[in-house]
Chain A
Amino acid sequence: MRSKRKLEILKKSVLYFILLIMSAIMILPFLWMLSSSVKLDREVFNMNPFVWIPKNPRWKNYVDIWTKVPFFKYVQNTVILTIVVTALQILTSSFAAYAFAKLDFKLRNKLFFAYVSTIAMPWQVYMVPQFLMMRSFGLNDRLLAIVCLQAFSAFGVFLMRQFYLTIPDSLCEAARIDGMSEYGIYLRIMLPLSKPAIATLTIFTFVATWNDYLGPLIYLKSQNKKTIQLGLKMFINQYSSEYGLIMAGSVMSLIPVIIVFLCLQKYFVEGIASTGIKG
């Protein structure tokens, strides 16, 4: 009995040791980022001795990033884009998914197949023809281009449909017998029941849009159209040796995503586990 207890303790220690190393690898870069963001440039790389919190934290870094570049404009653009894309994505996806999951109509399977088959096709394969098309629509260098690009994804429809399939049909049938219209069923029954799916889609879309780099890089050329990622990258290139500033900008760009992530992370984890797509 005694040796079994010992074994148990040994097992736990090994587990915690692995966890400790993993956590350190995960979190150290972020701590370093946070620490550097309130330092002078010469302090950032001072290893001997290394201090996590400098005696005189240089909060000015956080002020400077707003004045050296139009950081506020970048944030504003990104917030607008993210909100519009996420709202459109959820609205149109859940709307379409309701029909695919609960209604019987001509071409249903064919249309759904069209959606599913495109999920495997990387956007990078058709980003060039897409750009040419958008340019001919006059959407080049407009935020609207990014909205069109990201708001109508096959992934959203697929994810919402998978969730709606788990809601019993009898619920809709009963509502239909009571004389409720399909729109009413969607709005009053399906939508309120699908909170976890909506949370999952929200967080996926929010994170993807907020962090997107390649899309804005292709479409948004003028200074006042840039998103926070493009702006930060430009800022890094321009002030490549002002590390404290760069880190302050990086910290700022993380805050919204971290807030959204922490609020909705439970659903996010479920979402990945249940759908297993999009990486």
Chain B
Amino acid sequence: MDAKAAEMLRKSQKKRNIKKNLIAYSFIAPNFIGFAVFTLVPMMFAFLLAFLEWDGNNPIKFVGLENFKALVKDKFFLASLKNTIIYSIGTVPLTLVTSLLLAVVLNQNIKGRAFFRTLGFFPYVASLVAVTSVWTMVFHASKGPVNAILYYVFKIPKEKLPNWFAGNLVLLMLILFSVWRFMGYYMVMFLAGLQTIPKELYEAGTIDGANAWQRFRYITLPALKPTTFLVTVMLTINCFKIYDIAIMLAGGSQNTLSVSAMVLVYYIYQNAFNFWKLGYSSAVAMVLFVLVFSVTLIQFKIQENYANE
């Protein structure tokens, strides 16, 4: 082949490649442009904003680490951080246990299995505003059925009946409500994990004389480890992002959430849209980011260890 022909071949190859790339980009463009403009750009801007002082109208001031320094002394921020963490510590294990239990039960060969699986899901798809309005009624301090049972059945005097949406009980309410709402979702993930366990393992276990608990402990649990990690990470991240549940159950309105129900995302919202302290609000957002990022990182590390095993 002479040089001229080779050159021509190369050129037409290059042309084809450009065309190939262009076609591919035409597929990606509609989504990518929207994604870049409305997600990537504001994401980068969020990091910058944390080091600024700005109310959205007046000139922007660069303040370095001042926002973060102020956070350390801010009792509302500390409360929101504490509440978010306590809420997560309560919600994660409870949801794990209940969703796993539900998955194990619904993995058995029982009648109406599909129906029960669908049922477990209902709280998750139902609108939050609607279901929280029921909850606030059910746990209503003076009129709700829960306190009525405490009064009529357990003979607890009226003045000692708990106010479920005030003080320390708020966090408990948030936790119970979240477990109720999310266990169906994670149940499905556990079900998927359960279905990957070979049946032969259980048969072998039964022949070796393992009882139901031993089979669960030594076959099911180890086999579910990857699923459990994934669920734990997702759950934790979702707990860090809690906001709307707190607003609905304890807030009343967007402007009056008590310190006992203050959570990180709420504090981000409040600083930005009520006080217009945009830089400060972004500093809180950075704390949220660091929390979520650490959890994700830990999960990757653990999975890596798994791969090496």
Contacts and interface: CB of A to CB of B under 8 A. Distances in A.
A103 B207 CA distance: 51
B27 A99 contact: yes
B135 A29 contact: yes
Interface residues of A, number: 97
B105 A273 contact: no
Specify the main secondary structure of chain A where it touches its partner: helix
B152 interface: yes
B103 to A, nearest CB: 11
A203 to B, nearest CB: 8
B258 interface: no
Nearest to A28: B138
B68 to A, nearest CB: 15
Interface string B97-130: 0000110011010100000111111110111111
Contacts of A33: 130-131, 133-134
Interface in A239-275: 243, 246-247, 249-251, 253-254, 257-258, 261-262, 265, 268-269, 272-274
B173 to A, nearest CB: 13
Interface in B22-55: 23-25, 27-28, 30-32, 34-35, 37-43, 45-46, 49
A272 B253 contact: no
Contacts of B110: 12, 15-16, 19
Contacts of B188: 269, 272-273
Nearest to B252: A237
A49 to B, nearest CB: 12
A105 B24 contact: yes
Contacts, number: 261
A48 B152 contact: yes
Report which residue of B31, B137, B286 has the largest number of chain A beta carbons within 10 angstroms of its beta carbon. B31
B237 interface: yes
A122 B135 contact: no
Given A15-B105, A29-B123, A111-B28, 14 more contacts: A45-B137, A45-B140, A91-B30, A103-B20, A118-B43, A122-B288, A124-B243, A128-B49, A157-B35, A217-B254, A246-B133, A261-B125, A269-B121, A279-B182
Interface stretch (A52-60, A65-73, A166-174, A208-216): A208-216
B121 to A, nearest CB: 7
Contacts of A132: 42, 45, 56, 278
Interface in B263-309: 265, 268-269, 272-273, 278, 281-282, 285-286, 288-289, 292-293, 296
Interface residues of B, number: 93
A254 B127 contact: yes
A22 B134 contact: no
Interface of B: 20-21, 23-25, 27-28, 30-32, 34-35, 37-43, 45-46, 49, 56, 101-102, 105-106, 108, 110, 116-123, 125-131, 133-135, 137-138, 140, 143-145, 148, 152, 180, 182, 184-185, 188-189, 191-192, 212, 230, 234-235, 237-238, 240-241, 243-244, 247-248, 252-254, 265, 268-269, 272-273, 278, 281-282, 285-286, 288-289, 292-293, 296
A153 B134 CA distance: 32
Nearest to B108: A15
17 contacts: A26-B119, A29-B131, A45-B143, A47-B148, A103-B23, A120-B292, A124-B268, A128-B46, A130-B39, A135-B56, A182-B27, A250-B131, A272-B185, A276-B189, A276-B230, A279-B237, A279-B238
B130 A232 contact: yes
Nearest to A121: B43
B35 A251 contact: no
Nearest to A108: B24
Given A130-B38, A279-B235, A213 B137 contact: no
A66 to B, nearest CB: 17
Contact of B265 (A91, A124, A211, A268): A124
Contact of A105 (B21, B38, B182, B254): B21
A123 B285 CA distance: 10
A127 B43 CA distance: 8
Interface string A99-122: 110011110100100110010111
Given A26-B119, A273-B192, A122 B144 contact: no
Contacts of A148: 34, 37-38
Contacts of B247: 213
B126 A254 contact: yes
Interface string A8-34: 000110011011001101110110110
Given A25-B180, A182-B27, A125 B288 contact: yes
A224 interface: no
A218 B265 CA distance: 13
A218 B266 CA distance: 12
A211 B127 contact: yes
Interface string A32-51: 11001000000011011010
Given A103-B20, A132-B56, A253 B137 contact: no
A276 B186 CA distance: 9
B121 A265 contact: yes
